[in-house]
Chains A and B, each alone.
Chain A
Amino acid sequence: MARISLKVNGKARVVDTDPETPLLYVLRNDLQLNGPKFGCGLAQCGACAVIMDGNAIRSCQLPVSSAQNRPVTTLEGLGSTKKMHRLQQAFVDEQAVQCGYCINGMIMTSKALLDKNPKPTDAQIKEALAGNLCRCGTHTRILRAIKRASGQKV
Chain B
Amino acid sequence: MKTSELSRREFLKGTGALIVSFNLFPAASDLFAQSSANLLPNGDLDPQSLDSWLAIGADGTVTVFTSKVEIGTGTVTALAQIVAEELDVSVNRIKMVSGDTTKSVEQGSTVGSRSIERAGPQFKQAAAAARQELLKLAAARLAVTPDKLTVNDGVVSVIGDAGKKVSYAQLVGGKLFHVRITATGTGWDMKVAPEVKAKDPKDYKVVGTSVKRFELPAKVTGEYVYAHDVRIPGMLHGRVVRPPVVNTEPVSIEQDSIKHIPGVAMIVREGKFVGVVANTEWAAIKAAEALKITWSKPTTKLPANPDELFAYLKNTKPVRTQKAVEKGDLGAGFSQGKKTYQASYRWPFQMHGMIGPSCAVADVKGDRATIWSGPQGPFRTRGTIATLLKIPEQNVRVIYHEASGSYGRMSTDDGAEDAALLSRAVGAPVRVQWSRQDEHGWEPKGPAQLDEVKAAIDGDGKLIAWDFVDYGQPWTASGVTPLLASLQVGFKPNNPGQGNGTQGGGEIYEVANQKIVAEHINWHFPEPIPLRTSNLRAPGDPARCFASECFVDEIAVDLRVDPVDYRMRHLANNKRGSECLKAAADKAGWQKRPSPAPASSGNIARGRGIALTQRANAYCAIVADVEVNKTTGAVAVKKVVSSHDCGLMVNPDFVQNQVEGNVIQGVSRALFEEVTFDANGVTSLDWNSYPILKFTDVPELDIVLINRPEMASLGAGEPSTIPVAAAIGNAIFDAVGARLREVPFTPARVLTALKATPAANQKS
Q: Which residues of A contact B (CB under 8 A)?
A: 1, 17-18, 20-22, 25, 28-29, 32-42, 44-45, 47, 74-76, 78-81, 84, 88, 91-92, 95, 97-104, 107, 125-127, 129-141, 143
Query: Pick the contact of B686 from A17, A40, A79, A102 — CB < 8 Å?
Result: A40
Instruction: Provide the residues of chain A in CB contact with B663, threshold 8 Å.
Output: 137
Decide: A41 and B435 in contact? CB cutoff 8 A: yes
Decide: A136 and B686 in contact? CB cutoff 8 A: no
Decide: B220 and A84 in contact? CB cutoff 8 A: yes
B458 interfacial by beta-carbon distance below 8 Å: no
| 25 sampled A-B residue pairs with Cβ under 8 A | A18-B283, A32-B1, A34-B223, A34-B224, A34-B228, A37-B228, A37-B355, A39-B355, A41-B435, A44-B687, A45-B687, A74-B222, A84-B217, A88-B221, A92-B217, A95-B653, A95-B657, A97-B219, A100-B220, A102-B355, A137-B660, A137-B668, A138-B660, A140-B660, A141-B660
Decide: B686 and A42 in contact? CB cutoff 8 A: yes
B665 interfacial by beta-carbon distance below 8 Å: yes
Decide: A38 and B228 in contact? CB cutoff 8 A: yes
Give bound CA distance, A32 to B235, whole Å. Answer: 14
B72 interfacial by beta-carbon distance below 8 Å: yes
B341 interfacial by beta-carbon distance below 8 Å: no
Give bound CA distance, A130 to B693, whole Å. Answer: 9
Decide: A44 and B686 in contact? CB cutoff 8 A: yes
Decide: B662 and A34 in contact? CB cutoff 8 A: no
Q: How would you classify the secondary structure of chain A's contact residues: helix, strand, loop or mixed?
A: loop
Decide: A40 and B216 in contact? CB cutoff 8 A: no
Decide: A138 and B657 in contact? CB cutoff 8 A: yes
Q: How would you classify the secondary structure of chain B's contact residues: helix, strand, loop or mixed?
A: loop
Instruction: Provide the residues of chain B in CB contact with A131, threshold 8 Å.
Output: 694
Knowing A75-B222, A104-B222, A133-B692, the reply to whether A42 touches B664 (Cβ < 8 A) is no
| Chain A residue with the shortest CB-CB distance to B409 | A135
Knowing A135-B355, A135-B405, A135-B407, the reply to whether A99 touches B696 (Cβ < 8 A) is no
Give bound CA distance, A100 to B356, whole Å. Answer: 10
B701 interfacial by beta-carbon distance below 8 Å: yes
| Chain B residue with the shortest CB-CB distance to A80 | B221
Query: Pick the contact of B404 from A25, A34, A99, A127 — CB < 8 Å?
Result: A99
Instruction: Provide the residues of chain B in CB contact with A81, threshold 8 Å.
Output: 217-218, 221, 223
Query: Pick the contact of A136 from B215, B405, B687, B701 — CB < 8 Å?
Result: B405
Give bound CA distance, A53 to B280, whole Å. Answer: 28
Give bound CA distance, A140 to B663, whole Å. Answer: 11
Instruction: Provide the residues of chain A in CB contact with B221, threshold 8 Å.
Output: 35, 75-76, 78-81, 84, 88
Decide: A45 and B355 in contact? CB cutoff 8 A: yes
Query: Pick the contact of A100 from B216, B692, B694, B701 — CB < 8 Å?
Result: B216
Instruction: Provide the residues of chain A in CB contact with B137, threshold 8 Å.
Output: none
Instruction: Provide the residues of chain B in CB contact with A129, threshold 8 Å.
Output: 695
Q: How far is the CB of A1 from chain B (nearest CB, A)?
A: 7
8 Å CB interface, B336-364 against A: 353-357
Decide: A99 and B686 in contact? CB cutoff 8 A: no
Decide: A37 and B661 in contact? CB cutoff 8 A: no
Query: Pick the contact of A139 from B653, B664, B686 — CB < 8 Å?
Result: B664
Knowing A35-B222, A130-B695, the reply to whether A95 touches B282 (Cβ < 8 A) is no
Decide: B356 and A103 in contact? CB cutoff 8 A: no
Instruction: Provide the residues of chain B in CB contact with A45, threshold 8 Å.
Output: 355, 687
Instruction: Provide the residues of chain B in CB contact with A28, threshold 8 Å.
Output: 229
Decide: B692 and A135 in contact? CB cutoff 8 A: yes
B402 interfacial by beta-carbon distance below 8 Å: yes
Q: How far is the CB of B582 from chain A (nearest CB, A)?
A: 25
Q: How far is the CB of A148 from chain B (nearest CB, A)?
A: 13
Give bound CA distance, A97 to B692, whole Å. Answer: 18
Decide: B405 and A101 in contact? CB cutoff 8 A: yes
Decide: B280 and A29 in contact? CB cutoff 8 A: yes
B42 interfacial by beta-carbon distance below 8 Å: no
Instruction: Provide the residues of chain B in CB contact with A126, threshold 8 Å.
Output: 695-696, 698
Decide: A34 and B356 in contact? CB cutoff 8 A: no
Give bound CA distance, A29 to B405, whole Å. Answer: 22
B436 interfacial by beta-carbon distance below 8 Å: yes
Give bound CA distance, A37 to B353, whole Å. Answer: 15
Instruction: Provide the residues of chain B in CB contact with A20, threshold 8 Å.
Output: 282
Give bound CA distance, A91 to B282, whole Å. Answer: 32
User: Which of A81, A102, A143: most chain B Cβ within 10 A?
Assistant: A81
Query: Pick the contact of A33 from B222, B282, B664 — CB < 8 Å?
Result: B222
Decide: A138 and B661 in contact? CB cutoff 8 A: yes
Give bound CA distance, A20 to B260, whole Å. Answer: 15
Give bound CA distance, A12 to B218, whole Å. Answer: 25
What are the 10 tightest A-B residue pairs by CB atom distance, in nearest-first order? A35-B222, A137-B664, A99-B405, A99-B72, A137-B661, A98-B72, A100-B219, A101-B404, A40-B436, A44-B687
Decide: B220 and A103 in contact? CB cutoff 8 A: yes
Query: Pick the contact of B354 from A42, A79, A98, A135 — CB < 8 Å?
Result: A135
One digit per residue, 1 when the CB lies within 8 angstroms of any chain A CB and 0 when it does not, for chain B 637-667 equals 0000000000000000100010011111100
B298 interfacial by beta-carbon distance below 8 Å: no
One digit per residue, 1 when the CB lies within 8 angstroms of any chain A CB and 0 when it does not, for chain B 226-241 equals 1011010000000000
